[in-house]
Chain A
Amino acid sequence: MNTLTAPLPSSGHGLDPRRMAGALGHEALGEWRNLVRMPAFSIPTLLFPVGFYAMFAIVLPFADTTQAAATLLVNFTIFGVFAPGLFAFGVGLANDRDEGWLRLKQTAPLPIPVMMIARMLVAMVFALAVVVALFAVAATAGGVRLERSAWLILAITGVLAVIPASAIGMALGAWMKARAAIAIVNIAYLGSAMLSGLWFPLHLMPDPVQSIAPALPPFHLAELGRHATGLEAGSLAVSLSWLACVTIIAAALAMPGLRRQERK
């Protein structure tokens, strides 16, 4: 009997979908409590994007046309929703490893993918909270007027942006020590946001920056946001496929890092 035809292990914990769902629920709830109770994560995640958006769109006179107002909202939505996934995995995973949690979880009767999905779902909830907060400010004080469908698609884009952000976070967190992770994830986050034109219009940036932007995931997430809101944007297919590639590559890079832990 070769391995291809071997029966699946029946003692596995991950095969009964109902039990899986239950485990996922518990794990997600645990993650949620974990993150909410970590003010270093939850407060900046929620307040930074809203604060920056308010500064650029309301305090400073940058949202002077309907287009500019929509552009600012798209940019800061992407800026905001990119953080939860990136940090929950980038910093969170590194922490887990350093503190031995990951080993504990690896021995617990819960498949690692379930844990990852639970963490991602929680990050999505955070992303949704960021979206709700930003939309509330944009609608009341930011002068943003969008078609109802555009609001919805932008919100969905924001929530789904957690997937590539999580994959990138995973790749970083799987390989780094917790202390280094905080610094490096922050640099990656703020740097890529800046270089992707989320803070300042790309055309005001030096030419080298303009040519880097199309390689960065936040740029393409912002492109999706621009598509959603009818702003000028490049090819939708290019952005989607680039994001898919980045997600797959990042997840693939993360795997050996996680396994390395297992072998320790």
Chain B
Amino acid sequence: MMKTWILSIALISALVAGWLLLPVPSHSDTDTNADGDVREQWPDGDFTLTAARVFTGTEWLEPGWIEVRDGRISRVGESFEADPDLPMIDLGDRTVLPGLIDAHVHAFGTALTDALNFGVTTVLDQATDGEWARQLRQASAGARYFSSGPPATAPGGHGTQYGYTPPKVRGPEDAGEFAETILDGGSDWMKIIIERGTGDWQVPSIDQETVDALVKAANDVDLMPVAHVSELETAHWAIDANVHGLVHVFADQPADDALLENMAADDRFVIPTLVAMEGVAGTVAVDHHSDERIAPWLSGEQRASLTQRWPGARNETLRKRAIKNTRAMYAAGIAILAGSDAPNPGTAHGLSMHREMELLVEAGLSPHEALVAATFLPAKHFGLDDRGLLEPERRADLLVIDGDPREDISATLSIHAIWQGGRPVKRVLTLEETVADVPEHGRMSEFRIDEAKAGFGLGWSATDDNMAGGESTVEMQPDGDDARAWIRLTGEIRSGFDWPWAGAMFFPGDQPMAPVDLSAFETLRFKARGEPAGLRVMAFSPALGAMPATQTIEIDSEWRDFELSLDEFSGADLAAISGIAFVAGPELGPYQFDLADVILE
């Protein structure tokens, strides 16, 4: 009997141990974007770079070399004799891609900078106001912009609900004038909206005859006609009329062979915008909270559109049909172009291009083909012969990522660097956008016997390594006597995270980790006592990424005064400090320490 018990317990322990040993996804990807100082050494002018992998837009060079002069690529190859006068950038085991081209956006607000922040160096706007388009074409920052300008749509039809009025297309008779108008307005192609609505949402649409007339008018003025459709039937109208591409995949019913054959035979393209379909279907699957490759880089507008939802229930069928039709088109040999339709609900400029590539892979494209769909094919079909490919004479729009996207397409999110027209792009940490002003005084603590009151900012809270997967514990307790009030930190440092910590964190901003300009101060003074041990003081700054700058002090059972020079927090940007922490660890075991009179001077 005893033996059976021992055997059972041993077996169960073995199962539990085995379970604990199973591999989990890696969440801490801290060095990806944290090496800002390295990038600042990169030249603004001509240079040569090399990396383990270069994807040119159509093929792979392993390793790859690229020479950039005057913002354009001058040489590309698996190796060449580098010009000794040019600075040399060795990107090591990384992948260089052409800057991504989002073939379907609607740009306003911070769209262009948001897109560029995620490696999208060019966007194609598929319907907007003529005047907005004119301004965006001249924008000095952000992704380069091309646009259809205003769409051809029926009066009161789809496309008229966005706060601008496109030139009227009442019927075939208006087609010629419409084409002339948008040509004069600077349109780069013509977008035709054929949309009759669905369910409760019914809208007037231009008819088939008008589609024919518009395509003819577009050809007369040398604008490429493309069409918005959401039904198989209207897709037939568009393709029969000879539009060059569809800017969405339809999901009302499966694509039929006639359509697939016609599209494939005439080298038509489709921009499925599966990520927007995912939004419509209510099946959005982007982790914008904890994914370190996403969360810190999102602007307010990106966050807003990403979390916005269409009304209505989850519609798995719609999503499946969209994927299935995309797969059918791909299988038929029709060119698939990556486009996000941002900022529709559930999408975000820039970010959603990466999700679109994942979805294209789900629809059957290989990661390689998804990359072609996001670089070379949009350039080819929209006549942008100065980008989309890494070859001599084209613009040096480059996206450098960690890892090999052929193994996992989502590697494109692990952005290491971006060049646009040969100039390094400084990625914007969203937190930097909101650096708060210098506090008037530096009294971090105004502790009371019963309250861990702060002099400014969000104040004091307990912190431990559980957020990084650790097991350490902490309890923060205000206390005091006649001489002073303090906070007492007690707990245990346990193994679990590689660099275990636990203690107290001071947030200077009005939100956790919101950076504040502390550059007016030079010194951090405080009193501390506790069980004799080392105590680490850590400064967090967006410039450092997730790894704080640390100074260590020794405490013992008597109150002692400490004075740390802020300059000694090496690498931290004092103009943007997001937190200051006082923690025990990494030595394991129980700890206890008290903090009082914490002040910046």
Please list the residues of chain A having a beta carbon within 8 angstroms of any beta carbon in chain B. Answer: 64-67, 128, 132, 135-136, 139, 144-148, 151-152, 155, 203, 232, 234-235
Contact = CB atoms under 8 A, between A and B. Distances in A.
A152 B19 CA distance: 7
A139 B409 contact: no
A139 B22 contact: yes
B483 interface: no
Nearest to A155: B19
Interface string B1-42: 000000000000001001111111110000000000000000
Contact of A65 (B21, B327, B407): B407
Given A65-B408, A66-B408, A203-B324, A146 B18 contact: no
Given A147-B24, A148-B19, A234-B316, 6 more contacts: A65-B361, A65-B408, A66-B408, A135-B22, A145-B23, A155-B19
Nearest to A201: B364
A204 to B, nearest CB: 9
22 contacts: A64-B406, A64-B407, A65-B408, A66-B408, A66-B410, A128-B15, A132-B15, A132-B18, A135-B18, A139-B22, A145-B23, A145-B26, A146-B22, A146-B23, A146-B25, A147-B24, A148-B22, A148-B24, A152-B19, A203-B364, A234-B316, A235-B316
Interface of B: 15, 18-26, 316, 324, 327, 361-362, 364, 367, 406-410
Contact of B23 (A67, A144, A232): A144
A67 B364 CA distance: 13
A135 B22 CA distance: 8
The 6 closest A-B pairs by CB, nearest first: A145-B25, A151-B22, A145-B23, A139-B22, A139-B23, A65-B408
Chain B contact residues: helix, strand, loop or mixed: helix
B413 to A, nearest CB: 13
Contacts of A65: 361, 367, 407-409
A149 B155 CA distance: 54
B320 to A, nearest CB: 9
A135 B21 CA distance: 11
A235 B283 CA distance: 12
A148 B327 CA distance: 33
A147 B406 CA distance: 23
Contacts of A234: 316
Contacts of A66: 25, 408, 410
A36 to B, nearest CB: 15
Contacts of B410: 66
Nearest to B283: A232
A136 B24 contact: no
A56 to B, nearest CB: 17
Contacts of B364: 203
A148 B22 CA distance: 7
Contacts of A67: 362
Nearest to A234: B316
Contact of A203 (B23, B24, B327, B408): B327
Contact of A146 (B21, B24, B361, B362): B24
A248 B367 CA distance: 44
A189 B66 CA distance: 56
